Structure 1
Amino acid sequence: MGNDILKGGYDAVFSLGDLCLGAIQMQKNNLRPFSGPLDWMGSPLLPKVIELFEKRFSDFMLEENLRIVGKATDKMMLVSDDRNLVMSNHDFEIAHNSMTQLLTYPQVKEKLDRRVNRLFVKLTSAQRILFIRTSASLEETALLQQVLRSIIVNDFRILVVNHGPVTGIVENYWPIDHVYSVVLPNNEIWEGNNALWSQLFEDVYLM
């Protein structure tokens, strides 16, 4: 089967988590002309991502649901959206916030709202959209496909990438329309599979 399900042009490509890996690989493969709301978030539970789509991201990163966890890096804070179980580790700079107060929250929320608005404009106007999700089960993906189909006007595809003790690309033959599911090696997911991601995106391009 290869990546025949994915091949072709897309008006938009969006990462649906669970880490930044999808967005990073989109960038490496020239498939990321703009940011999506989940690009740089940790979203380990796909059912919570599906819920976000069901409620149109209406309570995404609301201030009353945020909790300062600590430092994500030397420069960035780790902030949890406890309502949606999403973690921000690329939005709040330590230099401009504190461990008790998110002083840059208004600017961050404005940025995220722009990304959410762009997402839903694309969902209702794009001719073809690609979604990328790392870490998902067959059952979760079937529900994701169902919910996206209830929102999206035109065509879309979903690439699911799980990681495991494999060599090369191992395809899953899931009985879900327009879904391509694979397993990639789990020994070094951030840089070790770059060539395999490029293979997944062969003949996939932005229109």
Structure 2
Amino acid sequence: MVAGLGSWCGPALYSERHGLRRHSFPLDWMQSPFLPDVNTLLRNKFQGFMEVENIIEKDILANYVDDNGYPIFKSGTSESIRAHYVTDIKYNIDSVHDFPMVPNQDWSVQYPPYKIRLDHRIQTFLNQIAQSQRTLFIRYEWMPTSYEDVINLKSILTDMTNGNFNLLLVETVDEELHGVKDMNFGTPEDKICWVQVSRDNCTNTSVWNDLLSGITLLN
């Protein structure tokens, strides 16, 4: 199984395009920029995540997408539907694609069905990673990544899984890199593949082809 852990839609979107994504998970279409917050969220098994009393709206434009990451367009047009950009201030994680803008309607009107979908995604994630015999987790990092945070993530995932897993950590850097740079982190027993890519190449198809090359689902 392949499971995206943020920090943006890339891991889910490109896993989908490579035929590696079979479920919708809670962080797929969110912005989760800070790994320590994601670690806390996972350690807490999403307790209190996106509760309405912890959500604020930000004045940032976003697009409404379906469960596969594809934009939803206004009927009969090529104009994508805009979405409310809302933030969980407890975990510092943003929902950017889940609340379509409806004229004269507050985002909170759509909260009840959204929370049902989110809770389903959370339960699916927890169940699937516990049952899977082999899982690849993908975390994309926009920020400089600390060794301690990565080791904490590995420890948390160890507690949440019963089968084998590996972590693909994709760290972006400002320098110009051609393709993917392997950081040669640790040993295979560490279960962590730490690579760097140029920040400008986040949507570069060839880079994602390199990252996901050779990965297949067994069943």
Sort the TM-score into its range (normalised by shorter chain): 0.7 to 0.9
* Structure 1 runs not aligned, ≥5 long: 1-11
CA RMSD for the aligned pairs?
1.6
Q: 1:204 to 1:63 in 2, by over 3 A?
A: same
Residues 153-168 of structure 1 aligned to structure 2 (within 5 Å): 153-164=162-173, 165=175, 166-168=177-179
Structure 1 residue 96: Cα displacement: 6.9
Asked if 1 retains the 8 angstrom alpha-carbon contact of 2:171 and 2:196, the reply is yes
State how far apart, in whole Å, the 2-side matches of 1:57 and 1:183 are.
28
Q: Is the 8 A contact 2:201 2:207 kept in 1?
A: no
Cα distance between partner residues in 2 of 1:87 and 1:97: 22
| 1:95-154 deviation digits (Å, cap 9, x = unpaired) | 17745x510101111001001001111122110111100114322111100111112111
Distance 1:121 1:112, change over 3 A: same
The reply on whether 1:80 has 2:81 as its aligned counterpart is: no
**Structure 2 residue aligned with 1:94:** 101
Residues 97 and 103, structure 1, Cα contact 8 Å, conserved in 2: no
- Letter of the 1:146 counterpart: S
Q: Which residue of 2 aligns with 1:189?
A: 202
Q: 2:217 matched to which residue of 1?
A: 206
Alignment: residue pair count: 193
Counterpart of 1:57 in structure 2 is: 46
Letter in 1 for 2:35: L
Deviates more, 1:27-36 or 1:37-46: 27-36
Q: Which runs of 5+ in 2 are unaligned?
A: 63-80
Structure 1 position 33 matched with structure 2 position 22: yes
Instruction: Pick closer, same or farther for the CA change 1:95–1:147 going to 2, 3 Å.
Output: same
Hey, which bits of structure 1, 4+ residues long, moved more than 4 A?
Answer: none
Identity %: 29
More contact order relative to length (CA 8 Å, sep ≥ 6): 1
TM-score, normalising length from structure 1? 0.87
Separation in 1, partners of 2:103, 2:139: 31
